[in-house]
Amino acid sequence: MSEPTAGTGSTRRRRSTRVSQQLARARQRNAEQLAEQRAREQRVETALRQFVEAGEAIATEQARCEDKVAVYQRKIDKLRADSEEKVVGEYTKQAQAALALHEGGGRTVEQVAELLELDSEKQARRLIASGREALSAGTDTDPPSDHDERERAEPRLETTADHEISANGAGERAEPTEDAGQQHRAQSDLVPAPTAHDEAQGA
């Protein structure tokens, strides 16, 4: 059996060194790849959290905005309703003025349209008709006069005839139970007798 030479041992040592170095480099590359992979996973996790949190913030902000918009919208609706009511009132005044020109002032529809600088006679007719409607509505809803109030407030004085009708029960005047002579005698009996003082004054 031949003994190993010095050259063979040196070759083995060099081969072992190369393997160790190659293995170390492979391990280093693997560690670097693992670190890069962990960094990528961390970036993915950060991106996912950022997206979800932003979505939640968007929903919260939109809800807050809608609440404020609802409050302002109610105010806007009230402003518009109040403005529309005022506009209708002023339009009624215009219609009443057109009616006054036509009926009170004796102006024709054409003249009313010309005086008020309206676009057409049709518009003047509409104004006049609206004025009549407003006048009719105002007449129907006029408050009671003072005379009517007094009539309702003052109690009605019932006469003797009313009592007789009510006593009859059939709405007919009851017949008197005494003749005129009897009533006259009854009233005469109620006249007081003259006193001495009255006779002295008469003398």
More confident residue, 153 or 120: 120
Tokens (6 digits) for 157: 């004085």
CA atoms of 179 and 125, how far apart (whole Å): 72
- What is the pLDDT at residue 166? 42
Query: Of the segments 5-14, 17-26, 112-121, 170-179, which one has the largest average pLDDT value?
Result: 112-121
pLDDT tens readout for residues 161-185: 444 434 444 444 444 444 444 444 4
Q: What are the extents of the domains in the chain? A: 20-72, 79-138
pLDDT tens readout for residues 97-129: 999 999 999 999 999 999 999 999 999 999 999
- What is the pLDDT at residue 61? 97
pLDDT of residue 189 exceeding 70: no
143 pLDDT band, cuts 50/70/90, is very low
pLDDT of residue 4 exceeding 90: no
- What is the pLDDT at residue 19? 85
- What is the pLDDT at residue 16? 80
Report pTM: 0.43
Contact assessment for residue 171 and residue 165, using Cβ atoms and an 8 Å cutoff: yes
List, as one string, the DSSP characters of 8-59. HHHHHHHHHHHHHHHHHHHHHHHHHHHHHHHHHHHHHHHHHHHHHHHHHHHH
